[in-house]
Amino acid sequence: MILLGLDVGTTSVKAAVFDTELAQLSHGRAPTPWVGTELDPYALLDAALAAAAAALPSDASVAAIGVAGMAETGVLVGDDARPVVPSIAWHDPRGASEAARIALELPEFSERTGLPATTLCTLAKYAWMRAHWPDAARGTRWINIAEWIVQGLGGDRRAESSLASRTGFYDLHTGDPWEPALRWAGAPDGLAPPHVPAGTTLGRATHPRFEGAVLAVGGHDHLAAAVGAGAAGEGDVLDSCGTAEAILRATPPLPPDVVGRAVAEGFTVGWHAIAGRFVLQGAVWAGEALQAVCDLLGVPPEARDDLEAAALDADPGPLELRGLDDDTLTITGLTGGASPGALYRATLERIGADGASVLARMESLAGPAARLVVTGGWAEGVAAQAVKRRHLGAFEHDRQIFAGARGAAMAARRALRAD
C-alpha cells in the first residue's frame, strides 16, 4: 500500500511516492504548463497526471493521494464546475488598480484577512477578471489549484483552509467568508465556500489510474513543506530556500490587532496546514538573487560547489548587494581584485542579514521561536549554511527535495486513516 504526494508549484508539479511509514520510494516531475502568465486548468491537471506517472511504478496500487499547491492562483468555474476563464499566475501584476481600491475602500482588509492589499491576493485578481473578462461574470465558485487537481481526480468540491486564507475572501478570526470583501468585488453567493483543514477526506478517486484512492488536499505548498519537514509545531520556523526564501512561523491564533501589525511589518498571516494554527509568513528574494549572481558569473546553479567553497573563505570587503526586494539588483563596492567567491559571499551575507531581520520581527510579534529548520536547494552549499548559521543561529538542516510532496502525502495518510 503506497501514498502519492503531489506538490503543484510555479515551476513544476512534483510527485513523490511513499510507503505508509512515509519513507520515500520514488519521485517524478512535470513542468507547470504556463502560457506566459496564464494557465489552462485542464493542461495543469494533465501535468499533475504526468508527474504522477513519472513517479509511480507501472503496477503500483495507490491507497491515498494528497495534493499541495501554490496559493493565490486558482480556477474560476461556473455552475457546471468548468473553468470560465484562464488561471492567472500568483505573481502576475494585473490587478494593481484593484489592489489600490481595496486598500482605500476596505480599511479593515489586512487585519481581517491577514494579507496586504496587493496584486498577489486573489481578491485583486478576481476583481480584475470581472472588470476585463466578460466571461468571468459566469463564474460562481473559486477553486484553488490543489483543490482543482483533487476534484479532477474525482474528489469532492470543498475548499481547504490554508489555501482559502490566501485569497482575501475570508475572515481569519471567524473562519467565515468576509462579506465586505465579497460585496466589494460583486461576487456571487458561494464564490467562497466553507473550508476544511488539510488532510480532510475528500472522497475517492474515479480516475481509472487511481480508482478508489482516498483523496485529500495537503494545503498551501510552503505549509505542506513545513509539515513534511516536521516544522509545523507552535513556535517552529521553517526557512525554505527556493526562488523566494519563505520563512514560516507556526503560531496559535493571533488577535486582529496583532494580525494588522504583522501585515504592516511586511508579513502575511493565514491558517496553517495543521488545524488550529496560524502561520506568520515572510520572504527574502534569496534564490532569485543567487541565480542572478550565478548567471553573471557563468556558473550553473547545479555546478556551484567550487563557488560555494571559494565563498566560504572569501572576504567580501566593501562588496555589497542591494535591491533584494526590487526588480533590479545593484552591486556596490566593486574594486580591483574582487573575486567571484567574494561576490557570492556578499550576496549570501545580504540574504543572511535580511533573514535575521525577518526572524527578529517575527519574535517581536509572537515571542521566541522554539526551533529553526532549514531546507531547499539554495541552502545546500557549504558557504550558504555557514553564513546562515552566523546570521540566524543554530538550525536543523532538512535535505528533502520533495518536502511539499511529503507533507501532501502525510495529509493523504490522515485522510486514509479517517476514511
pLDDT at 285: 87
CA atoms of 73 and 251, how far apart (whole Å): 25
What's the burial of 226, exposed, middle or buried (CB within 10 Å: 0-12/13-18/19+)? buried
pTM above 0.85, yes or no: yes
pLDDT tens series, the chain, 419 aa: 899 999 999 989 999 999 999 999 999 999 999 999 999 999 999 999 999 999 998 888 999 999 999 999 999 999 999 999 999 999 999 999 999 999 999 999 999 999 999 999 999 999 999 999 999 999 999 999 999 999 999 999 999 999 999 999 999 999 999 999 999 999 999 999 999 999 999 999 999 999 999 999 999 999 999 999 999 999 999 999 987 789 999 999 999 999 999 999 999 999 999 999 999 999 998 988 999 999 999 999 999 999 999 999 999 999 999 998 877 899 999 888 889 999 999 999 999 999 999 999 999 999 999 999 999 889 999 999 999 999 999 999 998 889 999 999 999 999 999 98
Other C-beta atoms closer than 10 Å to the C-beta of 21 total: 7
Structure-block grid coordinates of residue 186: 460583486
Under 8 Å CB-to-CB from 265, ≥6 apart: which residues?
Answer: 361, 364, 365
Q: At what angle do helices 221-228 and 403-418 cross, to 10 degrees?
A: 80
Closest alpha carbon to 319 in 295, 292, 338, 299: 338
For 379, phi then psi, to 5°, come to -100, 10
pLDDT at 415: 98
Other C-beta atoms closer than 10 Å to the C-beta of 213 total: 25
Helices vs. strands in the chain: H and E counts, helices first: 14, 20
First-to-last CA distance in the chain? 15
DSSP code per residue over 57-92 = -TT--EEEEEEEE-SS-EEEE-TTS-BSS-EE-TT-
pLDDT at 12: 94
pLDDT at 366: 93
pLDDT at 59: 83
145 dihedral zone (left: phi>0; alpha: psi -120 to 50; beta): alpha
Q: What distances in angstroms separate CA 320 from CA 3, 20, 23, one per listed residue?
A: 46, 48, 42
pLDDT at 50: 98
What's the burial of 173, exposed, middle or buried (CB within 10 Å: 0-12/13-18/19+)? middle
pLDDT at 68: 98
